[in-house]
Structure 1
Amino acid sequence: MRTIQVKKITEEVAQMCKEAAYYLPGDVYDALKKGRETEESPVGRDVLDQIIKNAEIAKAEDRPICQDTGMAIIFVEVGQDLHIEGGSLEDAINAGVAKGYTEGYLRKSVVEEPLFNRKNTQNNTPAIIYTKIVDGDKIKIQLAPKGFGSENKSDIKMLVPADGVEGVKKAVLDIILHASCNPCPPMVVGVGIGGTMDRAAVLSKRALIRPTNVRNAHPDYAKLELELLDLINKTGIGPQLGGTTSALAVNIEWGATHIAGLPVAVTICCHAMRHSERVL
C-alpha cells in the first residue's frame, strides 16, 4: 500500500489556491478570445478586451484575477490503496487553504456562522470538500474558488418527468434570465440533472470543472449543452453590458434519479472560471 504524508497534501493545496486565483485556465482564456472574435456588440467587444487584459495582467504579475477570491470548493478522489499518514485528510486540505490564502494575499471571505454573528474565520476555511473513494493508490484534488456574485444567482428547480427536455431548457433559461448581468458575464454555466435536490447541485458544481471545450460524453447531453449555450447567447445579456457573448460554455453532468423526479440545478460562474488540479 502506498503512503502519502498529509503535509504534502497541505503544500499542494496551498499552491493550488494561489494558481487558481492568479492564472485563468487556458480553455477559459481561449473561450474569451473566441467570444471577442464573434461578439457583435461594440460595447461587448470592449468589455471582453478589458476582461482578457485583466487575465493577462493577473498571470504576468501573480495577482488575483478578481478581488473576490472565492470560497474554496474541492473535489477529492482518494484511491482505496492509498494510506494517508500524519493526520486527517480534511484537516490537511483546510490547512492548505489557510496557507495558500494567507501566503497569496488572497481575500478571506468565509464566515464561521451564516446568520447571527457572521464572524470571519480570517483564513478562508473551512473549504467545501467532496470526497470519493476510487480504485488505485493516488489522490486527485480539484480546487475551484467560487465567487459569490455568481453563486448567489445559482438555483435549483424540482421538475417532474413530464416536463422533459423542454422543461429543462425553460428551467435553465429562467434561472439565467433572472440572473441577467449580475454574475459578471460572460458566464460558464454548470447544470446538474438527476439525483436528488442536493445531488443535482453537486453535479452542477462538478460540471464547472470540466474544460469549456469538452462536451458531455453522452451525445444527447452534448447536444443539449450546445442548444442551451445558443439559447443563452440569444438572450442579449452579453458581456456585462449587453451583446451576443452571454456564456462561454454550458457543461452538464447527470445522474440516476427517482421515477417521479427530474431535479435540475444550475450553478453560474462568472467569466473567471478558476480551477486547479493535482494528482499525487
Structure 2
Amino acid sequence: MREINQETIIEAVKQLCIEANSVLPCDVRQALKEAYVQEDSSLSRLTLEVLNENADIAQDTNAPICQDTGMACVFVEMGQDVHVQGSLSEAIHEGVRQGYQLGYLRKSVVDDPMFERMNTKDNTPAIIHYDVVVGDRLKITVAPKGFGSENMSQIKMLKPSDGVQGVKDFVMKVVYDAGPNACPPMVIGVGIGGSFDYVTVLAKKAMLRTVGSHHQDPRYQALEKELLEKINQTGIGPAGYGGRTTALSLNIETYPTHIAGLPVAVSICCHVARHKEVVL
C-alpha cells in the first residue's frame, strides 16, 4: 500500500488551480493557431489573433486567461493501492482555497444556490468526481469551468427511438442556443448513455480530451467528425462574428445505458478550455 501525505495533495491542487487558469493546454493553443491560419473572415481572424495574444500574455505574466476563473471541477483517479493520510476531499478543498487566494483568482462560488447566495470568499467547495482504478497512483485533474459556458450546457433524456438523428439534432440545438454567448470558438464534450446523473460527467470528461483525439469506436469517430463539421458550418464563428471556426473540438464519451433510455448531455466550454493534471 502506497502512502500519500495530505499536504502533498494540497500543494498539488493549489498549483493546478493557478496553472489551469493562466496556461492553456498545448493542444488548445495549437488549435487556436491553426484556426487563425484557416480563417477566411478578416474580422474573425482579428478575433482569433486577439485570443492568441491574450493567451500569450496570460502565460507570460501568470495572469488569468479569463476574468471568470470558474468553479473548480476536480476529477480524481485513485489507485486501489493508494492510501491518503487524512481526508482526500478536505485536502482537495484546501488546495483550491489556497490556489485561488495565492493566485489572486476571482472567487465566484456562493454558499446557498437560491436564497442567500453569499460568496464563500475562497471558491470552495470544489466539485469532485472519484474513480477507483487499478494501481498505486493518484491522478488529479483540475478543470475550472466558467459559467458563461456552463450555463450554455444542456442535458436531454432522449427515447431510444430518437436514435442517431435525435442525438445530432440535440447537439446542434445546444450549439444554436449557445450562439455567441459561450464565447466561441468552443470546445464541446458530448456524453451519451449512462443515467441522468452520469451522462453529464461523461460530457465533462469528453471535453477534457485532447483536441483532435477520437472515440475508439469508428461509428462514434464518424459522428464526432460530422458534428464538428456541421457546427463549423453554422457561421457563428469566433465571438459570434461569423467565420469558419465555431468549435475547435467535439469529443464524445459513451457508457452502457438502460433499454428504455438514451441520455445525452452536451458540455459547452469556450476556447478557454482550462485544465491541468498531475499524477502523484
Q: Which interval holds the TM-score relative to the shorter structure? A: over 0.9
| 1:127 paired residue number | 126
Distance, in Å, in 1 between the alignment partners of 2:238 and 2:215 is 25
Q: Structure 1 length as normaliser, TM-score?
A: 0.98
Distance, in Å, in 2 between the alignment partners of 1:242 and 1:114 is 35
Aligned residues: 279
Distance, in Å, in 2 between the alignment partners of 1:218 and 1:38 is 29
Deviation of the 1:81 alpha carbon:
0.8
Q: Is 2:197 the counterpart of 1:198?
A: yes
Q: Structure 2 length as normaliser, TM-score?
A: 0.98
Question: In the TM superposition, what are the counterparts of 1:21-100 in structure 2 within 5 Å?
Answer: 21-85=21-85, 87-100=86-99
Distance, in Å, in 2 between the alignment partners of 1:265 and 1:217 is 19
Two-structure CA RMSD over aligned residues (Å): 0.7
| 1:231 paired residue number | 230
Unaligned runs of 5+ in 2: none
Distance, in Å, in 2 between the alignment partners of 1:246 and 1:98 is 34
Q: Which runs of 4+ in 1 moved over 2 A?
A: none
**1:244-279 CA-partner distances (Å, limit 9, x unpaired):** 100000011000001111111001000100000000
| 2:164 paired residue number | 165
| 1:219 paired residue number | 218
Distance, in Å, in 1 between the alignment partners of 2:219 and 2:33 is 28
| 2:135 paired residue number | 136
Distance, in Å, in 2 between the alignment partners of 1:220 and 1:60 is 41
| 2:269 paired residue number | 269
Distance, in Å, in 1 between the alignment partners of 2:69 and 2:224 is 28
Unaligned runs of 5+ in 1: none
Distance, in Å, in 1 between the alignment partners of 2:216 and 2:33 is 25
Deviation of the 1:213 alpha carbon:
2.0
Residue 181 of structure 1 aligns to a residue whose secondary structure is: helix
Aligned residue identity for 1:273? A
Distance, in Å, in 1 between the alignment partners of 2:36 and 2:264 is 30
Deviation of the 1:161 alpha carbon:
1.3
Q: Is 2:177 the counterpart of 1:181?
A: no
Q: Is 2:146 the counterpart of 1:147?
A: yes
Distance, in Å, in 1 between the alignment partners of 2:91 and 2:35 is 39
Identity of aligned residues (%): 56
| 2:13 paired residue number | 13
Distance, in Å, in 1 between the alignment partners of 2:37 and 2:25 is 19
Distance, in Å, in 2 between the alignment partners of 1:212 and 1:262 is 26
Residue 84 of structure 2 aligns to a residue whose secondary structure is: strand
Deviation of the 1:18 alpha carbon:
0.5
Distance, in Å, in 1 between the alignment partners of 2:193 and 2:18 is 33
Aligned residue identity for 2:94? A
**1:85-144 CA-partner distances (Å, limit 9, x unpaired):** 1x2000000000000000000000000110001000110000000011111111000110
